[in-house]
Structure 1
Amino acid sequence: MTPHVVEPDPQAGAAVKAADRAHVFHSWSAQGLIDPLAVAGAEGSYFWDYDGNRYLDFSSGLVYTNIGYQHPRVVAAIQEQAAKLATFAPAFAVDVRSEAARLIAERTPGDLDKIFFTNGGAEAVENAVRMARLHTGRTKVLSAYRSYHGATSTAINLTGDPRRWASDSGTAGVVRFWAPFLYRSPFYATTEAEECARALQHLEDTIAFEGPATIAAIILETVPGTAGIMTPPPGYLTGVREICDRYGIVFILDEVMAGFGRTGKWFASEHFDVVPDLMTFAKGVNSGYVPLGGVAINAEIAATFDKRPFPGGLTYSGHPLACAAAVATIQVMADEKVVENAAHIGENVLGPGLRELAERHPSVGEVRGMGVFWALDLVKNRETREPLVPYNAAGEANAPMAAFGAALKKNGLWPFINMNRTHAVPACNVTEAEAKEGLAALDAALSVADTHTV
C-alpha cells in the first residue's frame, strides 16, 4: 500500500480539538486532565494528525483493527449495504446477518454454532452470563484477578483490574480467583507445570468453599489482554474444562480481544485444544469498522431456549452495516491469509525481535505473547521483578512509564501502555517492514525506561 501523503492543516486540527474539549466526554478519564490527539486520517497500519505527524499504530486502536484502517473491501461492503438496506430490526431474517453468523460459526470450535449478536464485547459478556445463569439455575460466576470483561454492570463486576473499583456494587454473585501467571506467581511456583497444577488446585478449593451447586459459570479470557497477555501454561485451560464438566459449570471463554486472528489462530482456544460452552467475541470480528460483538453458543445451552424465551435483546443486534463489515472482514482475512500472517510475524519477527530487545535493555523483565499479541513487562530491577511503576500508578508515580510513552510517540509509534507494561499489538496484517519499524522505535524508547532501573 502506498503511504498516504500527510498534508498538515493545524488550523483544522485546532478546530477539531476545540469542539472535542467543548462537547465530548471521554471514557476512563478525568476530563480536565486529558489532551486528546486530533486525528486527521488513517490507512493500513498508520494514522496521522493535523500537524503532519504520522504514527505506526502498535495498539490497533484498542486492539481491534485486525486488518488495519480503511481496508477498501470492507469500506465498499459497508457502502453497498447502506445503499441496499441500511438497518433493520433484529427479529427478522436478513441475508447479511445470516451470512455473518454462518461465517463466524464456521470458524468457532466445537458445536458453538448459534450466534447471538451484540454491539460489543461487554454486552456479549452480559448476555453470556445471563445464558449461563438461566441454563444452570445457579447464580455465582467465577472470574480471575488480572482480567477485563467490559464496562457494563455485570461485566465490570466480573473484571479483575482497578477499573472495577469505582463501580463495585459488592460484586453480588461474583467470586474471584487467581489464574496462572508464572512471572508473578501467586502460588510460589518455579515452573509452568507447578504453576498449572497449583492454579487448578486453587480453583478447585475456591469452588469447594463456594459450593459447586451455587456456581453457574467460570469466565476466563483465553489469553488475558489488557491485564498483561499472560499465555496460560500447557494443560491449564483443559484442566478448567474438566473441572467445569465435573461440577456442571458453564465454561465461558472471553475472546473479545484474543479472537479473529490476534494470536495467529482464528480463536486463541485453538492453541490449547479446548472448547468452551459459550464464547464471547467483538473487536476483530469486523476490525471495529462498525460496532459488533456476540456470543457463540453450544447446542446444549441453545436448546434451553428452544421453548423458553431468552430474556435479552438489543435494538441493534446484528445491525446490517456491522454484519456487512463482518462478512467482508472475514472474507478478507481468509483471502489475504491474515491469520497466517499474524502467526508468521509473531514467530519470525515480533517474538525474536522483542526477546532480543529484552537481552539488551535491563528495564525489560519478561516478554510474553504469540501472534501479534505481545507484552513487555517493564521492571525497576530484573532480580526482584519490581515493576517499573507501582500497581495502578498515577501522576508522579507513573512518570517513568509516561516518559517511555512520550519517547515512543516521538519516534513515530503509537503505543498500548497499561500500568508497567507496553503491549506490541499491531494489525494482524502488519508487514515485516512495519513490525521491524516498531521494534526500532521500541528499542529507542526502552533506553528511556532503562534510566529508571536500579
Structure 2
Amino acid sequence: MSIDLSRETKTEQNQQVSEYINKVLSLIEKEEVNKEEAAWITKETVDGFREHVNPGFLTYRKSVTKDGQFAAVEWSDNGACFKDVNGKEYIDCLGGFGIYNVGHRNPKVVKAVTDQLKRQALHSQDLLDPLRAMLAKILADITPGDLKYAFFTNSGTESVEAALKLAKMYSERTTFISTTRAFHGKSLGSLSGTAKGMFRKPFLPLIPGFRHVPFGDIDMIRKTFEVCASVGEDVAAVILEPIQGEGGIILPPENYLKQVRELCDQYGSLLIFDEVQTGMGRTGKMFAAELYDVVPDIICLAKAFGGGVMPAGAIVAREEVFKSWFPNPFMHTTTFGGNPLACAAAIATIGVLIEENLPERALVVGEYFLKELKEAAKGHEDKVLEIRGQGLMIGIEFHKDEIGYEVSKGMFDRGILVAGTLINSKTIRIEPALTIGYEEVDMVISTFKEVLSLVKA
C-alpha cells in the first residue's frame, strides 16, 4: 500500500493533529474539567485504547463495564487517593503495585523535581552529573551491610537485567537459581527468572541457564547447588524476592533467606534480592533484607524509588562485585537511567521516608490493617482462604479467581482500588501509600466486609 500523501493532504493532516494536540494540552492545563470535557476525555480514552493502545485492557480491567462504553478514567491524585475524570474519589490500595509509598504527588518530591526542572531536565551524557553521585552516596549509607556502588535504571525489569549482567561479569558463570511464583520483570533476561508460564511460553527459549525451584524449599535449593556443581555448571547467583509480590504476597519460611545466604557463600555464588516491590519502607523496614537480617550482594530497586513522581530504579552492589564494571563503565548503560529529574525525586523520597518514619509507620498501620481484615473475613471461610502480609504489603487469597475478581470489582465500585483483574484475582494485593490514615483504612475494611457478604462463594 502506498503511503505517499499529496502536499495538501499532508498539510491538512498536520493541521488536524496540531488542533488535537492543542485541545489535549489545554485540558492538561486545567485543574478541573466540566461534564462535557469529562465525557470527551472518557470517549477518547476508551476509543484510543481500543484502536491504538490495546483493546485487551478494556476486556480485563474492572474500571471498564462489560460493553466497554463507560470507563473510570483517572485524572488527578493526592495523598492516598486519586480521582477519576468525573471527580469520583478512590482510596488507592493498589498504589501502582507499590509505587506510591510516600503518597500521591508528595509535595516534597514534586518540589525537588520541579526545582531541578527549572535548571536542567536531562544530562549531557558526557559530563559528570552531580545528583547521580549524591544519590549513590545516600544509597550506600542506607542500604544493608557493605553495599556500596549504584547503577541507575528506569524500571524494575531494567534493575534486574543490570543485576543479572553484573553477576555474569563478576564470575563468568552462567547458571542462575530462581523460584516458583517469582516475578522479576518481563524483558528477556528478567523474564528468564520470572516463573509464570503465561508470560514465558510465547517467548521461549529464554536466556539459558535458569533453574527454578520451589520458593521456601531450602532442601531443593541445596540439591540444585550440588547438582550444578557436580556437572560443571556452577551457580552465578540466586535471585529472590524476600517476600514474593506478584506471586501472591508469599512470606519466606523462618531462616530461609539466611540459609540461602549461607549456601551462596558456600558455593561462591552471589545473592540478588529483588526489592523492587518490597523496598523503600513497604514491609516495615527500609528494605526487607533488614527484616530477615540478611545482606545480599546486589539489591534491585524501582517502583517507589522515584516517589511516585518519576520512573526510577537502581541496583546497589558490594564493591567486590561491582568492580567488574570499573575497567569499562560502558559495558552496561541506559540513556535515561540516573537522569537529574529521577535522582532529584529519589533523593527527596528517601528524605521523606526517613523524616516521617514511614517504614516504622508501615509496620504499625500494617499490623492493624491485617488484624482488622482477618476479623472482617470471619464467617466467610468458604470464600477467603487466607489473609497474610508484612507491613503494608498485604494479600487476600480467595478459593477461586472469580470470587477475588467480584470482591475487587465490588470494592472498586464503592471507591476502593485494590489489585485484581479478570484473569488474575485469586490473591488480591493491598499496597496503599505508607501515609494512609486510619480513617481510610477503616473505610477499606468496612467496604471489604460489605462486599464480601454480597459475593457468592
Q: Please indicate, yes or no, whether the TM-score normalized by the shorter chain is above 0.5.
A: yes
Cα offset, 1:305, TM superposition: 2.8
Alignment partners' CA distance in 2, 1:60 and 1:174: 31
Summarize the Cα distance change of 1:339–1:56 in structure 2 as closer, same or farther, 3 Å threshold.
same
Is 1:439 aligned with 2:445? yes
Summarize the Cα distance change of 1:22–1:211 in structure 2 as closer, same or farther, 3 Å threshold.
farther
1:79-118 maps to which residues of 2 (within 5 A)? 79-118=114-153
Instruction: Quote the residue 1:184 is aligned against.
Output: none
Instruction: Quote the residue 1:354 is aligned against.
Output: 373
Is 1:203 aligned with 2:221? yes
What is the TM-score normalised by the length of structure 2? Answer: 0.85
Instruction: Give CA-to-partner distance per residue, 1:8-48, whole Å, 9 cap, x none.
Output: 74432332233334445557x72563546311211111111
Alignment partners' CA distance in 2, 1:79 and 1:170: 41
Alignment partners' CA distance in 1, 2:37 and 2:444: 29
Q: Which of 421, 425, 445 lines up with 2:427 in the alignment?
A: 421
Is 1:67 aligned with 2:86? no
Alignment partners' CA distance in 2, 1:239 and 1:308: 34
Instruction: Quote the residue 1:278 is aligned against.
Output: 298
- Percent of aligned positions that are identical: 30
Q: Is the 8 A contact 1:264 1:371 kept in 2?
A: yes
- 1:173 maps to amino acid: G
Alignment partners' CA distance in 2, 1:359 and 1:313: 52
Is 1:228 aligned with 2:252? no
Summarize the Cα distance change of 1:109–1:82 in structure 2 as closer, same or farther, 3 Å threshold.
same
Instruction: Quote the residue 1:185 is aligned against.
Output: none
Alignment partners' CA distance in 2, 1:141 and 1:51: 49
Alignment partners' CA distance in 2, 1:310 and 1:235: 38
Q: Which moved more, 1:92-101 or 1:332-341?
A: 92-101
Instruction: Quote the residue 1:127 is aligned against.
Output: 162
Instruction: Give CA-to-partner distance per residue, 1:339-365, whole Å, 9 cap, x none.
Output: 121111012x21211221232322221
Summarize the Cα distance change of 1:100–1:107 in structure 2 as closer, same or farther, 3 Å threshold.
same
Alignment partners' CA distance in 2, 1:343 and 1:32: 36
Q: Which of 11, 17, 36 lines up with 1:11 in the alignment?
A: 36
Q: Which of 146, 158, 162 lines up with 2:181 in the alignment?
A: 146
Instruction: Quote the residue 1:337 is aligned against.
Output: 357
What is the TM-score normalised by the length of structure 1? Answer: 0.85
- 1:435 maps to amino acid: V
1:391-406 maps to which residues of 2 (within 5 A)? 398=402, 400-406=403-409
Summarize the Cα distance change of 1:9–1:441 in structure 2 as closer, same or farther, 3 Å threshold.
farther
- 1:293 maps to amino acid: G
Alignment partners' CA distance in 2, 1:48 and 1:309: 44
Q: Is the 8 A contact 1:157 1:174 kept in 2?
A: yes
Instruction: Quote the residue 2:5 is aligned against.
Output: none
Instruction: Give CA-to-partner distance per residue, 1:120-146, whole Å, 9 cap, x none.
Output: 110010010001011111111111110
Cα offset, 1:269, TM superposition: 0.6
The number of equivalent residue pairs is 409
Is 1:268 aligned with 2:288? yes
Q: Which of 313, 320, 323 lines up with 1:303 in the alignment?
A: 323
- 2:106 maps to amino acid: H
Q: Is the 8 A contact 2:153 2:312 kept in 1?
A: yes
- 1:360 maps to amino acid: G
Match of 2:250, SS?
A: coil
Instruction: Give CA-to-partner distance per residue, 1:260-313, whole Å, 9 cap, x none.
Output: 000010000101000000010001112231111011111210223333556110
Alignment partners' CA distance in 1, 2:151 and 2:121: 20
- 1:446 maps to amino acid: L
Alignment partners' CA distance in 2, 1:376 and 1:32: 25
Q: Which of 149, 172, 178 lines up with 2:208 in the alignment?
A: 172
Instruction: Quote the residue 1:395 is aligned against.
Output: none
Match of 1:240, SS?
A: helix
Q: Which moved more, 1:204-213 or 1:328-337?
A: 204-213
Alignment partners' CA distance in 1, 2:289 and 2:246: 18
- 1:20 maps to amino acid: T
Alignment partners' CA distance in 2, 1:170 and 1:340: 40
Instruction: Give CA-to-partner distance per residue, 1:36-85, whole Å, 9 cap, x none.
Output: 63112111111111223211000112211111111111111111000112
Q: Which moved more, 1:32-41 or 1:358-367?
A: 32-41
Alignment partners' CA distance in 1, 2:138 and 2:206: 39
Cα offset, 1:439, TM superposition: 1.1
Q: Which moved more, 1:301-310 or 1:52-61?
A: 301-310
Alignment partners' CA distance in 2, 1:410 and 1:256: 29
Summarize the Cα distance change of 1:353–1:92 in structure 2 as closer, same or farther, 3 Å threshold.
farther
Alignment partners' CA distance in 2, 1:154 and 1:374: 28
Q: Is the 8 A contact 1:13 1:40 kept in 2?
A: no
Match of 1:288, SS?
A: coil
Instruction: Give CA-to-partner distance per residue, 1:163-200, whole Å, 9 cap, x none.
Output: 223223245221111012xxxxxxxxxxxxxxxxxx11
CA RMSD of aligned residues (A): 2.0
